[in-house]
Structure 1
Amino acid sequence: MKMITRSLLLTYLYLFIYISLSSGVILYNKWVLSPKHFNFPYPITLTMIHMVFCGGVAFVLVRVLKIVAPVKMTTEIYVSCVVPISAFFASSLWFGNTAYLYISVAFIQMLKALMPVATFLMAIICGTDKARCDLFLNMILVSFGVAISSFGEIHFNITGTAYQVTGILAEALRLVLTQVLLQKKGLSLNPITSLYYIAPCSFLFLFVPWFLLEKPEMEAQQVTFNFWIFFSNALCALALNISVFLVIGRTGAITVRVAGVLKDWILIALSTLVFPESKLTGLNIIGYAIALTGVVIYNYIKLKDSHSSQLSSDSIPEKLKALMKEKKLEKKSSEVYDGDEADVAGASATVDEEAPLVPRASHVAGRTNSD
């Protein structure tokens, strides 16, 4: 009984750490980027700092300390899989972080409810999922809720909304590409190995828009860097990635999604306290409640599908199952479960702007924005 109690307490502690870090990183990013607060309105630069820091730490963990094993990565797989995934990853972080300059944290979280819609549509386009009436109606419900929230937004800004929606589409495409390109190659990346392979490439993709858009302005403004602010900000983003890794490993991706829904409500409430300029209306809350209802139903449908697939698998004759298991083991290049890349069609969101890897952990199992 003591062991059960201790195990439950540890699980709740992990979930509390994840929710705290995820909310904290988003609020921290908003504070750094906002012209009304720290006033560092350079989202590409901030994202590149995250990429350098997290990629460097991942390199140390994989190559120096060898705490995490690398996967069997070939040049062909890197060019055909990692490069396009990194491009959309960098885009999702860039656009998602830029949205902080124009719209509130609360409204951004409401827009993120569109992640299942975007992922579902991209999965259909890429052929990894089939168009289904129940899911389609569910997507309409989510979209309707977000539309109501947008209509009720006092400080609605079309530019910020466009940036956020574009970031969501880029992240959805990244998630689907991860399934199409990497998983078909038999590769499975956990948050650390994802950063190890993807962060350097994403940095290079971000360098071009940074050089053209932000570098001239930063030189003209003679911007100075506060080392401790950016170090602590990047450290929080890294800690979030690790916490997602630990929570998914201990509880599973579904639990993290549920925790993500709870986190969104907490974050929306906190953002109105930390940033008084953020104002919530009744339509905001009603619309977001409708959208989240759709997200919860969506996750339930995908969970039922997963259980049905598992039951079908259990009915396969034992010899055939043994052969399939043996073949799977031959292909397997990593034994660590990655919640962001598994069940991508059911992902609610997973690179969060919160974290460079989980590029949207707002409904993780689907987080990576800067972070």
Structure 2
Amino acid sequence: MGKGGALSEGVVKKILLSYAYVGIWIFLSFTVIVFNKYILDRKMFNWPYPISLTMIHMAFCSSLAFLLIRVFKVVEPVSMSSDLYLRSVVPIGALYSLSLWFSNSAYIYLSVSFIQMLKALMPVAVYSLGVLFKKDAFKSDTMANMVSISIGVAIAAYGEARFDAWGVMLQLGAVVFEATRLVMIQILLTSKGISLNPITSLYYVAPCCLAFLSVPWFIVEFPLLRETSSFHFDFLIFGTNSLCAFALNLAVFLLVGKTSALTMNVAGVVKDWLLIAFSWSVIKDTVTPINLAGYGIAFLGVGYYNHSKLQALKAKEAQKKAAQLDEEAGRLLVEREVEDAGRKTESQT
């Protein structure tokens, strides 16, 4: 009786912990998005310098990651040669810096709800690039699903009250750069057996991003900031914002490490709907019925895509287990035959 109680207690504890990780990730992701919007929007904090904001995040994150790895030794660094760093981490850092720059820039022109709707195109971009780089096999049913997501997003864009072509281009650019980064991680790091957790990832990638962003910053934003003499650096606002961005990276690590990438996808869908509701009710963004109908179609497509990915993973795991069992059975058979042969030899002598 006691044993059964302990088991169910453990299961309940596991479920509650999973919900806690999901809750923390949704809260932090939500906070970072709304916070960035607040800082960059001309009607709110009115500091429309997305490259500078991204650079503040990267400087803060790389400093904290350095302290956690080199000083406090919380996480072990990955053994990485300078050749591997230049060929793998540098291109990933370049793509990450472009993705962050473009996505943060979009907050100046678009509503939070519409940005979330456009982000639904991420699986489309990742799958298309995966097929292009021969990391994914082309399947006509998956492609049809990708087309349905794209149609849904197109309808949502058609119904957008605050449609801004430049903002849409920036957000779509961010999606393409982020999708390319994810595919490149698979090609350049995962295939070589290197996996970076968020702290080691920030330790290697964040300084690289900082270096890349300093070039457009010097050309685009530095002259503007020099002219804005009225601006004083608000340590509370930017410090809290950077801390939230760093905490979000850790939350991703916890969520994927303790649950699964699929849980994160499902949590992402919940977060998107919450952001749309928040954007409409609190920030007073206009969300039209056509907007919602289009996003609803895209959302169903993304849901189906995640479901089919889970089924494929389950089938792969089952195959792996079956192969392992076959291997073990084969090994036992060989051992038994060797034993039998040994016994025969003994009885003959």
1:258-337 pair list within 5 angstroms:
258-276=266-284, 278-317=285-324
2:69 counterpart of 1:81: no
Question: Which of 223, 228, 232 lines up with 1:224 in the alignment?
Answer: 232
In structure 2, stretches of 5+ residues that fail to align are 1-7, 329-349
1:13 counterpart residue number: 20
2:36 counterpart residue number: 29
Aligned-residue offset at 1:5:
2.5
Question: Which of 11, 14, 17 lines up with 1:4 in the alignment?
Answer: 11
2:339 counterpart residue number: none
Aligned-residue offset at 1:300:
1.1
1:152-199 deviations in Å (ceiling 9; x for gaps): 000100000000000000000000000001012110011111001000
Amino acid at match of 1:120: Y
Question: Which of 184, 188, 197 lines up with 1:190 in the alignment?
Answer: 197
Question: Which of 96, 116, 124 lines up with 2:123 in the alignment?
Answer: 116
CA distance in 2 between counterparts of 1:220 and 1:153 reads 35
1:144 counterpart residue number: 151
Aligned-residue offset at 1:63:
1.0
1:332 counterpart residue number: none
- Larger Rg over CA atoms: 2
2:334 counterpart residue number: none
Shift of the 5–307 alpha-carbon distance from structure 1 to 2, 3 Å rule, reads: closer
CA distance in 2 between counterparts of 1:63 and 1:319 reads 45
Greater share of helix: 2
1:233-277 deviations in Å (ceiling 9; x for gaps): 00011111111111222211111111110110001111223322x
CA distance in 1 between counterparts of 2:289 and 2:206 reads 40
Aligned-residue offset at 1:319:
8.4
Aligned-residue offset at 1:9:
2.1
2:260 counterpart residue number: 252
1:1-27 deviations in Å (ceiling 9; x for gaps): 333333322221221111111111100
Query: What is the TM-score with the length of structure 2 in the denominator?
Result: 0.89
SS at 1:315's partner residue?
Answer: helix
Question: Which of 250, 265, 287 lines up with 1:242 in the alignment?
Answer: 250
2:76 counterpart of 1:69: yes
1:6-59 deviations in Å (ceiling 9; x for gaps): 332222122111111111110000000001000110000000000010111111
Shift of the 207–183 alpha-carbon distance from structure 1 to 2, 3 Å rule, reads: same
CA distance in 1 between counterparts of 2:181 and 2:64 reads 23
The farther-off stretch of 110-119 and 184-193 is: 184-193
Aligned-residue offset at 1:312:
2.0
2:213 counterpart residue number: 206
SS at 2:323's partner residue?
Answer: coil
Aligned-residue offset at 1:129:
0.9
CA distance in 2 between counterparts of 1:147 and 1:39 reads 30
1:176 counterpart residue number: 183
Aligned-residue offset at 1:315:
2.6
- Runs of at least 4 residues off by over 3 Å: 317-321
In structure 1, stretches of 5+ residues that fail to align are 322-371
SS at 1:198's partner residue?
Answer: helix
CA distance in 1 between counterparts of 2:205 and 2:306 reads 27
Amino acid at match of 1:41: P
CA distance in 2 between counterparts of 1:92 and 1:6 reads 37
Query: What is the TM-score with the length of structure 1 in the denominator?
Result: 0.84
Aligned-residue offset at 1:77:
0.7
The farther-off stretch of 12-21 and 172-181 is: 12-21
SS at 2:66's partner residue?
Answer: helix
CA distance in 2 between counterparts of 1:155 and 1:219 reads 31
CA distance in 2 between counterparts of 1:314 and 1:163 reads 45
CA distance in 2 between counterparts of 1:62 and 1:253 reads 25
How many residue pairs were aligned?
A: 321
Aligned-residue offset at 1:320:
5.7
Question: Which of 152, 162, 166 lines up with 1:159 in the alignment?
Answer: 166
Shift of the 224–311 alpha-carbon distance from structure 1 to 2, 3 Å rule, reads: same
CA distance in 1 between counterparts of 2:112 and 2:288 reads 14
2:54 counterpart of 1:47: yes
RMSD: 1.4
